[in-house]
Structure 1
Amino acid sequence: MASEVTYAEVKFKNESPAPVVKGPPETKKPEQHPQKYPLWLPWLISVLLLLVCIALVVVLLVLPFCHSSEQPSALQQHFSQWECDSAGPQGTDRGWTCCPKGWRRFQGSCYFLSTDKMNCAESAENCTGMGSHLVVITSRAEQEFLFKQQNQDVKRENLYIGLFEKGDQWQWVDKTPYSVTAAFWRKGEPSDGHDENCTVMHLPEGTLKNWNDVIPTTKHHRICEAAAVIV
């Protein structure tokens, strides 16, 4: 009789378990938040702030001395000290009307009465060199104002004004049309001689009609005029 073979499953208690291979610990990925603004936005804000600062500087320092004509700008280049009066009625905010220190203001103009004497051409050049011109008188009120200023600090007899004769025609230095009705000539003036082609205010006359034509080489005082600066 054939013998039977019996198979049995045998487990050993001291059998070591299969080794477990551990990988490197997983690193936690940072959470990505969606970008709320573009990278160029801070630069744009910085540029805008800079432009605002520049605008403030212009408004506070430059605009106060801007004027519609070029003359005040030229005047400002030659003077650093100014005297200002209120440009509007009491209690209103309309700025100030300014003239260089030592000049005299009437309405919208500043006037300089010289203490030294020069001939006609030198007087015109001196006024131009200060950013002004020899005075142009266009009204009785202006003539009266200047007449009253004559001897406040220095005794003066004759003052050059900006009226010249050119080819039988009297012309103002700033091209303002000359009007006989707004002229203040002495009796018998202007004379017929063509050699007397400059004009002075002859103060000893004692009246508003005190203009006198003179030869250009004579040395006299002068009146310079410039538009006042509004700030």
Structure 2
Amino acid sequence: MASEITYAEVKFKNASPAAVVKVPPETKMCEHHPQKYPPWLPWLISLLLLLVCIGLAIALCVVPFSHSRDQPTALQQKFREWRCSSTMAQSKEQGWTCCPKDWKLFQGSCYYLSTDALSWVESGQNCTGMGSHLVVINSKAEQNFLSKEVKKNINGENYYIGLKAEEVGEWQWVDQTPFNETAAFWREGEPSNTDDEKCIVIHRVSSLPNNWNDIRCSKHHRICEAAAVTV
């Protein structure tokens, strides 16, 4: 008789389940695409650079004036447009000497030669209204400079300076500077020293440097003077 084989299912209590290996999903290759900029970006950059340039220009022209003095001069208060020239101070640092637009700079002063004619009183008032005064001439160099500038103009023949006589022959500068007869620049035969000619002008067509003439205080051109602004 053939032997019978019996099969039995056996379970072991401490047997560990089959290990499960987790396989990561396939890594996706990174694709490199060139970065695209909006078409308006170059225009924006150009605009920003322009604004920076304008800001620097304003800083160079305006900010120095705000620091030149604690209180701005009357001349600074009257004018917005200025012309500056470079100067070198004793400290070797670069500075700027400035005059209002259309004024002439010479040795630390600014000069305005008018294009219209006014009486002596009106001329003084006009200069004062601009933060200046009728010119006071202190040297031959200044006299020569102004005479050459006057000759460039064709608007008028006579230009008031800040010299007048309250009494005949008693000349007085508008800023109370004592009158020095040895530093005067009279035309030949002048002054007339008459009661009706108490105001002094530079006569444009006379030879340099002697071109002062006493004249009636009627309507003539004028030269205004103010200290230049240093920044």
User: Normalising by structure 1, what TM-score?
Assistant: 0.67
The answer on 1:129 being equivalent to 2:132 is no
SS in 1 for 2:188: coil
Q: Which residue does the alignment assign to 1:173?
A: 174
The aligned counterpart of 1:79 is 79
Q: Does residue 190 of the first structure (1) align with residue 191 of the second (2)?
A: yes
Distance 1:184 1:204 in 2: 14
What corresponds to 2:24 in structure 1?
none
- Write the distance in 1 (CA, Å) between the matches of 2:171 and 2:103: 27
In the aligned structure 1, how far is the partner of 2:126 from the partner of 2:165? 20
- Rounded to whole Å, the distance in 2 between the matches of 1:159 and 1:128 is 16
Moved more, 206-215 or 97-106: 206-215
Q: CA deviation at 1:139?
A: 0.5
Offset of residue 64 of structure 1? 2.9
- Partners in 2 of 1:151 and 1:178 — Cα distance? 25
Q: 1:207: how far off?
A: 2.5
Distance 1:153 1:183, change over 3 A: closer
User: How far has the Cα of 1:92 moved from its partner?
Assistant: 3.2
Q: Deviations over 1:42-82 (max 9, x none)?
A: xxxxxxxxxxxxxxxxxx66653318xx8x70111110111
Pairing of 1:1-231 with structure 2 (within 5 A): 64-66=67-69, 73-88=73-88, 92-167=92-167, 168-216=169-217, 218-231=218-231
Opposite residue 159 of structure 2, the aligned amino acid is L
Question: What amino acid is aligned across from residue 157 of structure 1 in structure 2?
Answer: E
Q: Which residue of the partner structure matches residue 60 of structure 2?
A: none
Amino acid of the residue matched to residue 67 of structure 2?
P
> What do the CA deviations read for 1:130-156 (whole angstroms, capped 9, x no partner)?
000000001100000001111435443
Q: Distance in 2 between matches of 1:88 and 1:178?
A: 33
Output the CA distance in 2 between the equivalents of 1:153 and 1:210: 15
Rate the CA distance shift 1:119–1:107 in 2: closer, same or farther, 3 A: same
Distance (whole Å) between structure 2 residues aligned to residue 61 and residue 87 of structure 1: 14
Quote the offset at 1:83 in angstroms.
0.6
Q: Aligned equivalents of 1:228 and 1:178: distance in 2?
A: 23
Structure-1 separation of matches of 2:201 and 2:137: 12
Contact 1:115 1:154 in 2 (8 A): no
What residue is the counterpart of 1:41 in the other structure?
none
Q: Determine the C-alpha separation between the residues in 2 that align with 1:80 and 1:122.
A: 24
Deviation, structure 1 residue 190: 1.2
Contact 1:87-1:96 within 8 A present in 2 as well: yes
Runs of 4 or more consecutive aligned structure 1 residues displaced over 6 Å after TM superposition: none
Q: Deviation per CA, 1:149-173: give whole Å up to 9, x if none.
A: 1143544311000001023411100
Unaligned runs of 5+ in 1: 1-59
Question: Between the two proteins, what is the percent identity of the paired residues?
Answer: 55
Structure 1 CA distance, aligned partners of 2:67 and 2:152?
A: 31
- 2:151–2:205 Cα contact (<8 Å) kept: no
What is the CA-CA distance between 1:182 and the residue it aligns to? 0.9
Mapped contact 2:136–2:173 kept (Cα < 8 A): yes
Contact 2:151–2:204 (8 Å) recurs in 1? no
Contact kept? 1:147, 1:203, Cα under 8 Å: yes
Task: Note closer, same or farther for the CA distance 1:150–1:180 as it changes in structure 2 (3 Å cut).
Answer: same
With normalisation by structure 2, the TM-score equals 0.67
